């Protein structure tokens, strides 16, 4: 089987690199046709950026890949669907969106007002992309239900494939550290719940916290407790060792609807490294994790519950080891490249057979 991975997708996103790696591991020939537009999640939607998108789409649509069985539009490929449909010429187009642009930029990050012209444009782009695909692949069942409901999609036109982790990098090797510390890595966007993490840190001043990243909510760090270290940036290749040396890895704790629908990269990466995980108890998290077995799940937006979980894990080395081992087992069973590769191939074969 041959798949054309197509569009202006973000080549730095684990969602894209993971899918390509999984498919190739499952014996699918993957050819990439890509034009850089967005960089490191550059979500500006100004006239200059839109002009770059138009030029990129024109270049993408001029070339054909006649022997591909399926066209797979990578994340964020919402602008790419018209060009993908043209070059597919009747072959199935599978959309790997990860998010809705309107939900992310208007609802979650509040970059645009709900009644602004930009919000209307994003809603129209979303509708065209989701409804134009033959198959949409979401990253959780909760997200799939949202896509079906929001874009009025048929039940069988949306499937689910978990995100996973880059296994050449994120390998087991966690060991109970000397000085226990809680590690959070992220872009500091609202759904991460940075305010909850900082409030929890203030309740356990004896436990060091390490926050890695910068972003929209970064100004909250200006008033961080003394036990919180801020590291603005780590190279991607350095993240596995950071998880392997942490007492626990923190997921997300935001209270928005979107936060309840996603399992972030950081959770899969920590599990892959055998690092114990604490994250919010959401519908999406329950699709992968079981509280007390392979992770500690706490109510979203509850700093006291998070502080208690961190304190508990820091004081109980046996519990940390049990969670670490069970978390890695869960990862291998549900989110490893081998498992996801077989699943992704089956989705593409199903789309090709239906077409």
Report pLDDT digits (tens) over 42-91: 555 555 666 777 777 777 777 666 689 999 999 989 999 999 998 998 89
Distance CA 336, CA 321 (A): 20
Does the pLDDT value for residue 40 go beyond 60?
A: no
Contact (CB, 8 A) for 192 and 254? yes
Q: What angle do CA 53, 57, 61 make, to 5 degrees?
A: 175
Contact (CB, 8 A) for 141 and 160? yes
Residue 105 pLDDT class (50, 70, 90 cuts): confident
Rg (CA), the chain: 20
Domain definitions of the chain by residue range: 2-164+336-354, 182-334
Is 48 exposed, middle or buried, given 0-12, 13-18 or 19+ CB atoms closer than 10 A? exposed
Three-class secondary structure of residue 94 per DSSP: strand
- Please indicate, yes or no, whether the overall pTM of this predicted structure exceeds 0.85: yes
The pLDDT of residue 140 is: 98
Closest CA to 151 of 138, 170, 169: 138
| Most confident by average pLDDT, 45-54, 71-80, 121-130, 290-299 | 290-299
User: pLDDT tens-digit profile of 322-355?
Assistant: 999 999 999 999 999 999 999 999 999 999 998 7
Contact (CB, 8 A) for 3 and 23? yes
Which neighbouring-strand residues pair with 138? Answer: 160
30 HSE (CA, 13 A, CB side): 24
What distance lies between CA 78 and its chain's CA centroid?
16
Q: In this structure, which topology does domain 2-164+336-354 adopt according to CATH?
A: Rossmann fold (3.40.50)
Rounded mean pLDDT, 142-158 = 97
User: pLDDT tens-digit profile of 177-187?
Assistant: 778 999 999 98
The pLDDT of residue 170 is: 96
CATH tag, 182-334? 3.40.50.2000
Distance CA 333, CA 220 (A): 37
């Amino acid at each position: 089987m041959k798949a054309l991975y197509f569009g202006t997708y973000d080549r730095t996103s684990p969602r894209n690199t993971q899918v390509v790696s999984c498919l190739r591991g499952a014996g699918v020939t993957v050819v990439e046709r890509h034009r850089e537009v967005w960089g490191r999640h550059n979500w500006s939607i100004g006239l200059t950026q839109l002009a770059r998108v138009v030029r990129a789409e024109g270049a993408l649509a001029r070339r054909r890949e006649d022997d591909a069985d399926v066209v797979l539009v990578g994340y964020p490929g919402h602008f790419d669907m018209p060009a993908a449909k043209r070059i597919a010429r009747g072959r199935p187009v599978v959309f790997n969106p990860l998010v809705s642009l309107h939900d992310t930029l208007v609802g979650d990050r509040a970059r645009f007002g709900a009644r602004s012209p930009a919000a209307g444009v994003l809603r129209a782009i979303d509708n065209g992309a989701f409804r134009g695909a033959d198959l949409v692949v979401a990253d959780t069942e909760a997200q799939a239900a949202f896509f079906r409901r929001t874009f009025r999609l048929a039940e069988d036109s949306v499937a689910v494939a978990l995100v996973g982790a880059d296994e050449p990098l994120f390998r087991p090797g966690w060991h109970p550290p000397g000085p226990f510390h809680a590690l959070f890595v992220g872009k500091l966007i609202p759904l991460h719940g940075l305010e909850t993490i900082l409030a929890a840190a203030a309740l356990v001043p004896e436990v060091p916290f390490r926050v890695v990243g910068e972003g929209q909510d970064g100004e909250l760090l200006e008033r961080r407790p003394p036990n919180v270290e801020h590291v603005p940036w780590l190279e991607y290749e350095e993240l596995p060792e950071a998880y392997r040396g942490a007492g626990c890895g923190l997921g997300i704790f935001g209270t928005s609807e979107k936060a309840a629908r996603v399992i972030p990269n950081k959770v899969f990466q920590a599990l892959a490294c055998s690092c114990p995980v604490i994250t919010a108890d959401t519908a999406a998290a329950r699709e992968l994790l079981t509280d007390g077995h392979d992770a500690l799940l706490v109510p979203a937006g509850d700093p006291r519950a998070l502080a208690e979980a961190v304190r508990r894990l820091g004081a109980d080395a046996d519990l940390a080891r049990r969670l670490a081992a069970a978390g890695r087992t869960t990862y291998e069973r549900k989110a490893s490249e081998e498992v996801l590769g077989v699943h992704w191939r089956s989705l593409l074969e199903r789309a090709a057979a239906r077409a």
